[in-house]
């Protein structure tokens, strides 16, 4: 008899858990409060336009353990085309100049040296640090499956990267730039612009991101978020998994410190051998479990680790093609406003010209993203909320037209998704769309996928790893079933 498993949440973590569960002979059901799978990795249609919410870059798009997971879960298949951009981002500075962060490290180094030859040394040091990070081996398996030999192999192969980790693992990017001691004031300002508003962002995190781009291992799957998660959902269903939409879980049922089932919002009770929480961690621990099984580490994380700032996405359907020199501009504009939000640093504007599946023939899709503190949103309701969305639509259109004057008069759809939209559709705590921000203090930390004192209950999803994102969310589902199969004395299978 297969054991049955209830998975709360049908985002990437829930889908991945379901797929590895089915592959290993478990009878799983995903209970998802929305109608569709995908969670935050989603997109929507408005008047013939597709507005994508999530994937800008996907770590593991071409190789490595994350790539294996994308293949095993069907998220990427042999037909998925990957677009690798030349640039990571282009910063439009207040003086109107562009500061480009190239995806290729060698090209970026040459660009920076040409711009400020006097800072050749610190530029070379920074780019070499990124290159050294490439020696970092990613573990395919969770810690309990690793042998001493695995660690020895890891230390030998990852030596240069490990040394950097030891040096900068607890350093913020802001301090890292300071330590490099650039002399050119303009370059200093531009580099500091990368971290503006996130002064404690991890230095190591930054080095990794640019390395992945340079290795062409953080590309964009053509079609974007919706086909990506639909491929996972199709694989899950093909393996016999049950996806039940419009099913909100309210409580975890406990019998003598053992999770035995869930109570749905409509009062229905469902029972299973194992319960996996693959939804928002705060809701799971504080609401569904009434705060009874909070571990000191989870308590500390919510008390001390900063969250990703909530965001507003304004999507535009434009009735003519618009060319862009660079796909994404980060327009540096501290102190400017969009609606009630005073920007701490910048807003981003992206053009989807690189994706023919998203950009309709003869048209253009763009989006503007900005951080907006959750405090501005938590009590906003009714008319006030509608008025704020309208103001945002108007301010954002103005900003778009400033960057792209050709757009004037051609915007036929404006769609505003706020932090409250994200919460309504996915329940994410305070709109922290990737969970905990990776900082100098938590970069090397993770949360456990088991809860001390509560048997048969497991956790998956972005909240377990500061930095969140799609790869760790999907990996958490795989690692979980490696643990569960071990407990059940079964051999773990990926196909
Ligand atoms: C605008 C934006 C851009 C992003 N860009 C990138 C990117 O470029 N690259 C990248 O790697 N990551 C990106 N991310 C992050 C990525 O989307 C998330 O880290 C990832 O999707 C999280 O997956 P998850 O399954 O852990 O959580 P979620 O996607 O939040 O899924 C949780 C699921 O649980 C469901 N749920 C919640 N409560 C209940 C309940 N009580 N009962 C039943 N179901 C429930 C929700 O509806 C949801 O479907 C982006 C996110 C956003 C919002």
Instruction: State mean pLDDT over 383-391.
Output: 98
Give the per-residue pLDDT at 1. 76
**Which residue, judged by its Cα, is nearest atom 49 of ligand 1?**
39
**Which residue, judged by its Cα, is nearest atom 52 of ligand 1?**
54
Ligand 1 touching residue 249 (CB < 6 A): yes
Least confident of 103-107, 172-176, 267-271, 462-466: 172-176
Q: Which of 344, 340, 311 is nearest to 419 (CA)?
A: 311
How close is the Cα of 12 to the center of ligand 1, in Å?
Answer: 7
Q: How many Å apart are CA 116 and CA 446, to the nearest integer?
A: 39
CB atoms within 10 A of CB 384: 11
Ligand 1 touching residue 213 (CB < 6 A): no
How close is the Cα of 112 to the center of ligand 1, in Å?
Answer: 36
How close is the Cα of 470 to the center of ligand 1, in Å?
Answer: 8
Instruction: State mean pLDDT over 147-152.
Output: 90
Ligand 1 touching residue 469 (CB < 6 A): yes
2 half-sphere exposure, CB direction, 13 A CA radius? 14
pLDDT in tens, 392-407: 999 999 999 999 999 9
Atom of ligand 1 nearest to the CA of 56: 8
How close is the Cα of 407 to the center of ligand 1, in Å?
Answer: 32
Report residue 273's pLDDT band, with 50, 70 and 90 as the boundaries: very high
Flag whether pLDDT at 454 surpasses 80.
Answer: yes
Give the per-residue pLDDT at 236. 98
How close is the Cα of 302 to the center of ligand 1, in Å?
Answer: 18
pTM: 0.95
pLDDT in tens, 181-207: 999 999 988 888 887 777 788 888 888
Give the per-residue pLDDT at 202. 84
Ligand 1 touching residue 339 (CB < 6 A): no
What percent of the chain has a predicted confidence (pLDDT) above 70?
Answer: 100
Ligand 1 touching residue 280 (CB < 6 A): yes
- SS3 per residue for 91-154: EECCCCCEEEEECCHHHHHHHHHHHCHHHHHHHHHHHHHHHHHCCCCCCCCCHHHCCHHHHHHH
Instruction: State mean pLDDT over 483-489.
Output: 97
3-state secondary structure at position 7? strand
Report residue 275's pLDDT band, with 50, 70 and 90 as the boundaries: very high
Give the per-residue pLDDT at 153. 87
Report residue 324's pLDDT band, with 50, 70 and 90 as the boundaries: very high
In this structure, are residues 30 and 87 in contact, taking their beta carbons and an 8 Å threshold? no
Give the per-residue pLDDT at 57. 96
Ligand 1 touching residue 317 (CB < 6 A): no
Angle at 125 between CA 119 and CA 130, to 5 degrees: 130
């Amino acid at each position: 008899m297969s054991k049955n498993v209830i998975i709360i949440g049908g985002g990437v973590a829930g889908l991945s858990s379901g797929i590895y569960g089915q592959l290993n002979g478990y009878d799983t059901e995903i209970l998802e409060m929305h109608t569709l799978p995908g969670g935050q990795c989603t997109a929507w249609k408005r008047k013939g336009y597709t507005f994508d919410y999530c994937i800008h870059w996907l770590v593991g798009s071409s190789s490595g353990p994350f790539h294996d997971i994308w293949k095993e879960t069907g998220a990427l298949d042999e037909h998925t085309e990957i677009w690798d951009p030349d640039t990571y981002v282009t910063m439009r500075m207040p003086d109107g100049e562009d500061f480009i962060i190239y995806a290729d490290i060698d090209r970026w180094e040459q660009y920076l040296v040409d711009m400020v030859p006097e800072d050749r040394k610190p530029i070379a040091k920074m780019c070499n640090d990124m290159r050294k990070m490439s020696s970092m081996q990613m573990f395919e398996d969770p810690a309990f499956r690793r042998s001493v030999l695995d660690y020895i192999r890891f230390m030998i192969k990852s030596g240069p990267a490990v040394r950097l980790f030891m040096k900068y693992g607890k350093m913020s990017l802001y301090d890292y730039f300071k330590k490099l001691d650039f002399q050119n004031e303009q370059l200093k300002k531009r580099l500091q612009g990368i971290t503006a508003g996130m002064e404690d962002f991890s230095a190591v995190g930054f080095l990794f991101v640019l390395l992945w781009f340079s290795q062409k291992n953080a590309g964009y799957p053509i079609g974007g978020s919706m086909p990506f998660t639909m491929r996972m959902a199709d694989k899950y269903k093909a393996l016999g998994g049950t996806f039940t939409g419009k099913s909100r879980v309210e409580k975890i049922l406990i019998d003598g410190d053992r999770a035995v089932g869930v109570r749905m919002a409509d009062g229905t009770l469902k029972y299973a051998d194992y319960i996996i929480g693959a939804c928002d961690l705060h809701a799971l621990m504080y609401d569904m479990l009434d705060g009874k099984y909070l571990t000191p580490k989870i308590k500390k994380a919510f008390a001390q680790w900063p969250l990703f700032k909530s965001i507003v996405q304004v999507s535009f359907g434009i009735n003519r093609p618009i060319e862009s020199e660079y796909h994404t501009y980060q327009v540096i504009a501290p102190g400017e406003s969009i609606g009630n939000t005073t920007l701490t640093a910048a807003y981003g504007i992206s053009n989807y010209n690189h994706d023919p599946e998203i950009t309709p023939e003869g048209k253009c899709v763009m989006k503007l993203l900005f951080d907006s503190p959750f405090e501005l949103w938590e009590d906003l309701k009714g008319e006030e909320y509608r008025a704020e969305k309208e103001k945002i639509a108007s301010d954002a259109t103005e900003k778009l037209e400033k960057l792209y004057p050709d757009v004037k008069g051609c915007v036929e759809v404006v769609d505003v998704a706020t932090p409250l939209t994200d919460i309504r559709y996915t329940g994410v705590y305070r709109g922290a769309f990737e969970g905990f921000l990776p900082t100098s203090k938590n970069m090397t930390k993770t949360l456990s996928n088991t809860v001390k004192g509560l048997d048969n209950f497991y956790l998956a999803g972005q909240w377990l790893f500061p930095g969140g994102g799609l790869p760790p969310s999907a990996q958490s589902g795989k690692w979980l079933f490696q643990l569960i199969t071990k407990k059940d004395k079964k051999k773990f299978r990926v196909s």
